[in-house]
């Protein structure tokens, strides 16, 4: 089944919306999003590697129907393909598309046609990132997602929408340029050694580990400049709260549920396989930033009175867990990180939908002005509370599975671990991250108590906005209920997804035990020596740090692509 159709369906829908009038834009967008979802489900049903015992992409390199030559002279081909991880993220994206359309049905009253055009274009760009199997296609879709996000925020956002949209664009655009330079450098080095250019991700990830430690260090820093902003990793998170707070409902859902996953997916598809020496060297530093982000954002949430901004900061905290799982360098952590991408997408996307529906009725997000909504909106309150439980990682929800795996993976990620996957983090990282879990439960449950329970508190002017019924209608329930069901189903039945991700995790992490053990030996030697060693004294030292491994990783460890 062609992946091109998956990308073209939303674009065709956008074209039809452009030709139709304002009145029909919503219905066409809903039809197009449902058609895209149906096509993605058909692809998932035909995907042959859900139960494979190794990391495989589909279509494979021998199948050329999903390859399109652009500039063959420099090896530039548009290549599409999916593995189990990227296909799961595609399904997350297209699953939320109809919910975004339904959630914006009455919220967008002006320039509807343009809004739904941008929404469809954004869906194509996000899916394009997940199915791209060459670096240029990945970068193109990664950058192109800025354009619809920028216009949705700048045109349909709140009072500070212009500041938020420019901050969002500049942060992510500038960082992405460094990522492009890193990918171009690896492709150039590949051409120098092999006599031909290639931007295929399989070629770059097989070749890059043979580069020196110095080169891998700089490549890692450049990749992080582009990807960590999207995660967002502390301290590159400052664009996110304002963008979330000012974005329309569909924009907030997309920012939280899928756009943040572009950065994490980039770490998984580029950073882990391409620069293993640098990942081991810089892993503790990245882990510290993740833990600081978890605790810092949780403390900021404590003092928030704006519900939307509180949930935005909670995303910064939650993404720290996903980064820890990724940097744990063991299958448990990586499975947890992938599961966290999905569980956070469902839970936080659903929360932003609920907040948008509340805002339509009361035109406020201030906890000081509104509360006790369980009396006036019992259906809304039930759905909202269930989504909060998923965000808190209550057992029985998908959030518990993902957070538990990330913490366990981090806890056992110590040098010399008997699990066969030694790491560079360990119990202290897990302990501080668990502190963030406790803080997260406190601020989310406090918000829920203020918002849903106690005496009913409504703004004085809420009677001026009574176009909608007090509680959710059928359309709104249809938008949110499937997300709530997904949070519960994947909380009780996580093993199909975990089993599908396991061979991917094992293949990506195959070279790391040897590298980490050498790093640990080097650390032990340095600790027992009273002679300080500087990077300049060691050939190939990673900038600003001590070289850890004298030999490059074996490219044969990269596994099947």
User: Per the structure, how many domains does the chain have?
Assistant: 1
Beta bridge partners of 67: 79
Tens digits of residue pLDDT in 472-493:
889 989 999 999 999 999 999 8
Tens digits of residue pLDDT in 120-147:
999 999 999 999 888 888 999 999 988 8
CA nearest 439: which of 314, 321, 343? 314
- Is residue 52 predicted with pLDDT exceeding 70? no
Q: How many CB atoms lie within 10 A of CB 444?
A: 22
Contact 140, 126 (CB under 8 A): no
Contact 255, 232 (CB under 8 A): no
Read off the pLDDT of each residue in 288-297 and give the average, rounded to a whole number: 91
Question: 294 pLDDT band (50/70/90 cuts)?
Answer: very high
For helices 331-362 and 84-103, what crossing angle results, to 10°?
A: 10
Place of tokens 């609920």: 354
Contact 277, 213 (CB under 8 A): yes
User: What does the alpha-carbon distance between residue 295 and residue 285 come to, in Å, rounded to a whole number?
Assistant: 16
Q: Which two tokens stand for residue 246?
A: 């000012």
pLDDT above 90 covers a percentage of the chain that reads: 24
Q: Which two tokens stand for residue 151?
A: 């216009």
Tell me which long-range contacts 454-459 makes (C-beta under 8 A, separation of at least 24): 454/371, 454/372, 455/371, 455/372, 456/371, 456/372, 456/373, 456/375, 456/376, 457/369, 457/370, 457/371, 457/372, 458/362, 458/370, 458/376, 459/362, 459/363, 459/364, 459/369, 459/370
**Helix then strand then coil, % of the chain, to nearest 5:** 70, 5, 25
Strand, helix or coil for residue 4? helix
Read off the pLDDT of each residue in 273-279 and give the average, rounded to a whole number: 88
Q: What is the mean pLDDT of the chain?
A: 82
For every residue of 225-274, DSSP letters joined together read HHHHHHTTPTTS-THHHHHHHHS-HHHHHHIIIIIHHHHHHHIIIIIHHH
Beta bridge partners of 78: 68
Q: Who contacts 466 (Cβ-Cβ below 8 Å, separation ≥6)?
A: 361
Q: What is the pLDDT of residue 382?
A: 93
Dihedral angle, C-alpha 121, 126, 132, 134, nearest 10 °: 90
User: What does the alpha-carbon distance between residue 242 and residue 168 come to, in Å, rounded to a whole number?
Assistant: 9
Q: What is the pLDDT of residue 57?
A: 57
Contact 519, 281 (CB under 8 A): yes
Q: What is the pLDDT of residue 305?
A: 85
User: What does the alpha-carbon distance between residue 86 and residue 391 come to, in Å, rounded to a whole number?
Assistant: 23
Q: Which domain holds residue 285?
A: 3-558
Tens digits of residue pLDDT in 298-339:
888 888 888 888 988 888 888 899 999 998 888 888 999 999
Contact 552, 212 (CB under 8 A): yes
Top-confidence range, 296-305, 457-466, 505-514: 296-305
Question: 526 pLDDT band (50/70/90 cuts)?
Answer: low
Q: Spell out the alpha helix ranges (H) of 509-554.
A: 512-528
Q: What is the pLDDT of residue 557?
A: 41
DSSP annotation of 159: T
């Amino acid at each position: 089944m062609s992946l091109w159709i998956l990308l073209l369906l939303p674009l065709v829908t956008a074209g039809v919306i452009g030709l139709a009038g304002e009145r029909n834009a919503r219905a066409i967008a809903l039809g197009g999003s449902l058609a895209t979802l149906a096509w993605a489900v058909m692809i998932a049903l035909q995907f042959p590697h859900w139960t494979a015992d190794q990391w495989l992409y589909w279509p494979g390199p021998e199948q050329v129907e999903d390859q399109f030559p652009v500039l063959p002279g420099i090896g530039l081909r548009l290549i599409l393909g999916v593995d189990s991880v990227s296909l799961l993220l595609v399904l997350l994206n297209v699953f939320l598309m109809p919910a975004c359309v339904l959630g914006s049905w009455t919220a967008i009253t002006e320039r509807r046609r343009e809004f739904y055009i941008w929404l469809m274009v954004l869906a194509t760009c996000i899916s394009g990132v997940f199915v791209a199997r060459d670096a240029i296609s990945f970068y193109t879709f990664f950058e192109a997602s800025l354009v619809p996000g920028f216009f949705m925020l700048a045109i349909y956002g709140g009072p500070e929408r212009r500041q938020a949209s420019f901050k969002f664009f500049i942060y992510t655009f500038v960082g992405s340029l460094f990522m492009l330079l890193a990918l171009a450098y690896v492709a150039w080095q590949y051409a120098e050694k092999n006599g031909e250019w290639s931007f295929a991700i399989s070629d770059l990830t097989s070749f890059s580990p043979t580069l020196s430690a110095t080169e891998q260090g700089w490549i890692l820093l450049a990749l992080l400049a582009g990807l960590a902003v999207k995660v967002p990793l502390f301290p590159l998170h400052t664009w996110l709260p304002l963008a979330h707070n000012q974005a329309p409902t569909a924009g907030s859902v997309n920012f939280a549920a899928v756009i943040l996953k572009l950065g994490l997916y980039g770490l998984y598809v580029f950073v882990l396989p391409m620069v293993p020496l640098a990942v081991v060297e810089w892993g503790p530093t990245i882990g510290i930033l993740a833990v600081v982000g978890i605790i810092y954002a949780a403390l900021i949430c404590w003092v928030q009175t704006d519900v939307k901004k509180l949930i935005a900061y909670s995303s910064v905290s939650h993404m720290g867990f996903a980064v820890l799982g990724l940097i744990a360098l063991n299958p448990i952590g990586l499975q947890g990180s992938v599961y966290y991408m999905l569980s956070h997408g469902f839970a936080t996307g659903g929360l932003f939908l609920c907040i948008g529906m509340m805002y339509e009725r009361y035109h406020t997000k201030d906890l000081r002005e509104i509360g006790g909504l369980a009396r006036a909106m019992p259906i809304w309150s039930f759905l909202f509370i269930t989504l909060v439980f998923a965000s808190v990682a209550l057992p029985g929800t998908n959030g518990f599975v993902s957070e538990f795996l990330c913490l366990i993976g981090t806890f056992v990620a110590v040098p010399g671990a008997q699990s066969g996957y030694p790491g560079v983090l360990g119990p202290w990282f897990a302990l501080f991250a668990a502190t963030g879990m406790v803080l997260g439960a406190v601020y989310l449950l406090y918000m829920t108590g203020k918002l849903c329970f106690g005496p009913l508190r409504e703004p004085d002017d809420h009677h001026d906005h009574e176009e909608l019924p007090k509680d959710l209608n059928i359309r709104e329930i249809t938008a949110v209920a499937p997300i709530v069901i997904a949070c519960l189903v994947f909380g009780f039945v996580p093993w199909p997804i975990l089993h599908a991700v396991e061979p991917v995790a094992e293949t990506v992490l195959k070279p790391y035990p040897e590298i980490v053990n050498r790093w640990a030996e080097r650390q032990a030697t340095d600790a027992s020596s009273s002679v300080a060693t500087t990077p300049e004294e060691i050939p190939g030292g990673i900038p600003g740090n001590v070289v850890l491994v004298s030999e490059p990783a074996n490219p044969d460890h990269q596994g099947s692509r």
